[in-house]
Amino acid sequence: MSTPARPLVIKTTSGTDRPEATNQAFTVAAAAVAAGASVSLWLTGESAWFALPGRAADLVLEHATPLAELLALVLEEGTVTVCTQCAARRSIGADDVLPGIRIAGAAVFVEESLAEHAQALVY
């Protein structure tokens, strides 16, 4: 019997301003989902824009899987969250984001990050 992968909480703060850091966060999240891990991807700061329909296509990075594909994979099996304050500062509401993406605050991030065996990564 194999041990289930431990929960992985990933927070990305960058957007198109830092394409490599942003893409790395999404790539790690998608790879972890593919490996069977429980993944929670947090979109904070400029990454909050990627929660809106079509915005993931704004990030283009040579030799990288398109961000929209990575986001779709994480949404299939994981959780994607936009920071409440980040969303508010950008006038992003629950009706604006892609289906399956939630808006939640720091208390939820802390709860997920402190869960037993959880690993948190920030990009």
Query: Domain range for residue 58?
Result: 8-122
The CATH number of the domain holding residue 26 is: 3.40.1260.10
What pLDDT is stored for residue 1 in this prediction?
47
What pLDDT is stored for residue 6 in this prediction?
87
Determine the Cα–Cα distance for residues 77 and 11; give it in Å rounded to an integer.
17
Q: What size, in residues, is the chain?
A: 123
1 domain residue, yes or no: no
pLDDT at 95 over 80: yes
User: Is 0.85 surpassed by the pTM of this model?
Assistant: yes
pLDDT tens, residue by residue, 30-74: 999 999 999 999 999 999 999 999 999 999 999 999 999 999 999
Rg, C-alpha atoms of the chain = 14
Per the structure, how many domains does the chain have? 1
* H helix intervals, 6-123: 19-34, 67-77, 84-89, 106-113
Q: How buried is 54 (Cβ within 10 angstroms: 0-12 exposed, 13-18 middle, 19+ buried)?
A: exposed
pLDDT at 3 over 60: no
